[in-house]
A = this chain, B = another copy of it.
Amino acid sequence: MNITIGRGKTARRAYGIDEIALVPGVRTLDPALADTRWQVGAIEREIPIIASAMDGVVDSRMAVLLSELGALGVVNLEGIQTRYEDPNPILDRIASVGKTEFVGLMQELYAEPIKPELITKRIQEIQAAGGIAAVSLTPVGAAKYASTVAEAGADLLFIQATVVSTAHLSPESVESLDLVKLCQEMPMPVVLGNCVTYEVSLELMRAGAAAVLVGIGPGAACTSRGVLGVGVPQPTAIADCAGARDDYFQESGRYVPVIADGGIITGGDICKCIACGADAVMIGSPIARAAEAPGRGFHWGMATPSPVLPRGTRINVGTTGTIREILVGPAKLDDGTHNLLGALKTSMGTLGAKDMREMQQVDVVIAPSLLTEGKVYQKAQQLGMGK
Contact = CB atoms under 8 A, between A and B. Distances in A.
Interface residues of A, number: 135
B103 A18 contact: no
Contacts of A228: 22, 267-268, 271, 336, 343, 346-347, 350
A62 to B, nearest CB: 23
A272 to B, nearest CB: 4
In this complex, the member of A7, A169, A171, A364 whose beta carbon has the largest number of chain B beta carbons within 10 angstroms is: A7
B308 A329 contact: yes
Given A196-B24, A200-B26, A239 B277 contact: no
**Chain A at the B interface: mostly helix, strand, loop or mixed?**
mixed
In this complex, the member of A8, A9, A165, A263 whose beta carbon has the largest number of chain B beta carbons within 10 angstroms is: A9
A180 interface: no
Contacts of A277: 6, 8-9
A14 interface: yes
B368 A16 contact: yes
A30 B350 contact: no
B169 A232 contact: no
A306 B8 CA distance: 38
A195 interface: yes
A213 interface: no
Given A28-B169, A196-B23, A339-B308, A229 B6 contact: no
Nearest to A195: B24
Nearest to A165: B28
A170 B34 CA distance: 10
A128 interface: no
Interface stretch (A67-75, A149-157, A215-223): A215-223
A310 B343 CA distance: 10
Given A6-B237, A331-B310, A168 B28 contact: yes
Contact of A169 (B27, B220, B244, B309): B27
A24 B165 contact: yes
Interface string A311-324: 11100000000000
A342 B242 contact: no
A223 B352 contact: no
A126 interface: no
A97 interface: no
A227 B383 contact: no
A308 B336 contact: no
Contacts of A373: 220, 223, 226, 379, 382-383
A196 B309 CA distance: 32
Interface in A6-20: 6-16, 18-20
Given A223-B335, A309-B343, A310-B334, A164 B28 contact: yes
A105 to B, nearest CB: 11
Contacts of A14: 6, 21, 365-367
Interface in A223-251: 223, 225-233, 235-240, 242-244, 246
Given A228-B346, A233-B365, A309-B330, 11 more contacts: A11-B366, A13-B365, A28-B168, A167-B352, A226-B335, A229-B268, A229-B271, A229-B347, A310-B331, A311-B334, A369-B370
15 contacts: A7-B242, A11-B15, A24-B200, A28-B163, A223-B335, A225-B371, A225-B372, A226-B266, A226-B268, A227-B268, A228-B268, A228-B346, A368-B369, A376-B383, A383-B386
